[in-house]
């Protein structure tokens, strides 16, 4: 690696320190799942992982980590927060039945959204692993507005996770509200992310395993399939999600994954034949010809392909990755020009020590068709929040993140970002102007969030402190509406 390039990156690291550990981690609240994913990415690149591991999957409890066969623990936490986010005045887009397309200070928190004015809440996380084949996990947040006019009627709770896993040889059965994470992005994958509330699902996944006989050259294999029935707060109500994913590692430095999600059924939709459903799940379309559109189809489909190269043997190890997303429409022309979205990213360490700096970069661009469907207006969302990348459709974003453990027990981060939404100038049936005639300007957002993590001994707990500020230009596409949004968060937790 060139000497000048090393000097340049070291200068950036110095700039990060001057910013007093400033960070933007896509939101003020960082879930334990995201912390774990960052740790696994670091271990994978440094070659510290003794187990096969796929970055493109959310791991089961039986892979990726060494844990005792018998372990029960609970984590108690309290969070103090202050938020100032200007209210959204337009409700045509962003109702509970349609996917929300706006930035929040709590993006990436698995649907956590405290009531307005609620700035203190408690958390309880518990795991139970009585044997080497059974595992249970739960995470709940809750609080009550101090001095509220209705007493305990002001209380709220958010069940973030509650699921059970059972392992049978190389297969894992999961049931409950479990997070899924399909993709490579550190911000949010384009297929399934940790943005919205986790799905209530049944899932069967495999542990990474070697292909048999002459297929061994394909390396390790991992697969998943899930089913989820949605609630009534949708349009149409009680639709269903089905998805599958498969990944391979033909080389120790390369991982590739492909997946499909299907949105099926819902109250009031005409009954469809099993053969038509089977045809569409297999990848074709049951309805073809002149005049075919979204309402003619049996399923709404979203496809993704991602890959990652890991280069561990350099003085500065690094990885590069990409995600590609297609949401099908009416004909190949619309698929290519209306529904193709993509993401490119990279991860670099300035050395092989745990204390060396980490750098992450991502660029994402989404199409006008992505996350939009005429027959299923609710699209791929849960409780009004996209289960995919929170940037929404017809948008692009740039993200740069620095992190470093400046002391064995202190970690700092720094991320800047720039996003543009509703980029298109022409008018068609997928354009923002169809839903919002008052459209004036593309919405632009940029910001930064100071944060620091303090880790203590396992019996003493840890602390996270972060503040956030970002500027929105032409919020909700209204020219001249340019608010500053800001917030702060302080959390304490202890594990027993």
pLDDT, mean of residues 60-87: 76
pLDDT digits (tens, 9 = 90+) for 397-447: 999 888 888 877 788 887 788 999 888 766 666 677 777 777 888 889 888
> What's the pLDDT at 11?
46
b/e sequence 209-235, b meaning 16+ C-beta within 10 Å:
eeeeeeeeeebbbbbbebebebeeebb
> What's the pLDDT at 222?
95
> What's the pLDDT at 147?
59
| Least confident span in 283-297, 346-360, 385-399 | 283-297
> What's the pLDDT at 34?
81
Cα separation values, 448 from 9, 22, 346, Å: 19, 7, 20
Fold of 3-145+157-495: Porin (2.40.160)
> What's the pLDDT at 283?
66
* Burial (0-12, 13-18, 19+ Cβ within 10 Å), 425: exposed
CA distance 72 to 399: 38
Beta-carbon-side half-sphere exposure of residue 275 (alpha carbons within 13 Å): 1
Q: DSSP strand E in 191-253: where?
A: 199-206, 209-210, 220-229, 240-251
Predicted TM-score of the model (pTM): 0.87
Q: In the 3-class helix/strand/coil scheme, how is 452-472 assigned residue by residue?
A: EEEECCCCCCEEEEEEEEEEE
> What's the pLDDT at 12?
41
Q: Is the pLDDT of residue 449 over 80?
A: no
pLDDT, mean of residues 37-58: 82
Residue 15: pLDDT band by 50, 70, 90 thresholds? very low
**Alpha-carbon dihedral sign for residues 148, 153, 155, 160:** negative
pLDDT digits (tens, 9 = 90+) for 216-271: 888 899 999 999 999 988 888 999 999 999 999 999 899 999 999 999 888 888 77
pLDDT digits (tens, 9 = 90+) for 92-144: 455 566 676 666 777 788 988 888 777 888 999 999 988 889 999 999 999 87
- Residue indicated by tokens 């943005």: 195
CA distance 468 to 26: 10
**Is residue 437 within 8 Å of 456, Cβ to Cβ?**
no
Residue 145: pLDDT band by 50, 70, 90 thresholds? low
């Amino acid at each position: 690696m060139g000497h000048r390039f090393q000097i340049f990156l070291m200068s950036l690291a110095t700039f990060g320190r001057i910013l007093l550990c400033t960070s933007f981690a896509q939101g003020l609240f960082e879930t334990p799942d995201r912390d774990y994913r960052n740790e696994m990415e670091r271990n994978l690149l440094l070659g510290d992982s003794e187990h096969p591991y796929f970055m493109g999957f959310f791991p089961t409890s039986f892979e990726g980590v060494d844990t005792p066969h018998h372990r029960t623990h609970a984590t108690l936490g309290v969070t103090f927060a202050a938020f100032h986010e200007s209210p959204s005045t337009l409700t045509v887009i962003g109702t509970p039945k349609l996917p929300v397309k706006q930035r929040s200070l709590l993006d990436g928190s698995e649907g956590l959204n405290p009531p307005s004015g609620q700035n203190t809440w408690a958390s309880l996380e518990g795991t139970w692993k009585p044997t080497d084949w059974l595992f249970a996990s739960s995470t709940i947040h809750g609080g009550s507005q101090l001095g509220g006019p209705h007493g305990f009627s002001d209380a709220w709770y958010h069940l973030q996770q509650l699921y059970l896993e059972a392992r049978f040889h190389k297969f894992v059965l999961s049931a409950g509200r479990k997070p899924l994470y399909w993709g490579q992005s550190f911000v949010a994958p384009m297929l399934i992310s940790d943005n919205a509330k986790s799905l209530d699902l049944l899932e069967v996944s495999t542990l990474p395993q070697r292909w048999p006989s002459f297929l061994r050259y394909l390396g390790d294999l991992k697969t998943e399939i899930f089913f989820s029935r949605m609630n009534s707060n949708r349009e149409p109500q009680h639709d269903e999600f089905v998805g599958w994913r498969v990944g391979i590692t033909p080389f120790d430095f390369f991982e590739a994954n492909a997946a499909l999600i299907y949105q099926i059924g819902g109250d009031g939709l005409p009954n469809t034949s099993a053969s038509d459903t089977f045809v569409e799940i297999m990848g074709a379309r049951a309805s073809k010809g002149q005049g075919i559109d979204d309402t003619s189809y049996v399923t709404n489909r979203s496809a993704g392909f991602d890959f990652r190269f890991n280069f561990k043997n350099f003085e500065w190890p690094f990885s590069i990755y990409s995600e590609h997303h297609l949401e099908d429409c009416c004909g190949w022309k619309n698929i290519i020009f209306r529904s193709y979205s993509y993401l490119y990213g990279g991860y670099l360490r300035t050395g092989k020590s745990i204390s060396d700096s980490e750098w992450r970069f991502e660029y994402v661009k989404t199409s006008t068709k992505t996350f939009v469907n005429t027959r299923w207006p609710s699209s791929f969302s849960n409780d009004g929040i996209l289960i995919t990348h929170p940037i929404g459709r017809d948008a692009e974003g740039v993200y740069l993140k620095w992190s470093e453990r400046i002391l064995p027990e202190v970690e700092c981060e720094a991320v800047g970002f720039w996003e543009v939404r509703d980029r298109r100038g022409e008018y068609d049936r997928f354009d923002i102007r169809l839903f919002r005639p008052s459209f004036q300007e593309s919405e632009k957002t940029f910001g930064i969030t100071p944060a620091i993590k303090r880790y203590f001994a396992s019996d003493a707990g840890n602390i996270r402190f972060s503040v956030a500020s970002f500027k929105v230009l032409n919020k909700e596409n209204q020219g001249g509406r340019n608010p500053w949004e800001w917030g702060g968060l302080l959390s304490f937790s202890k594990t027993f």
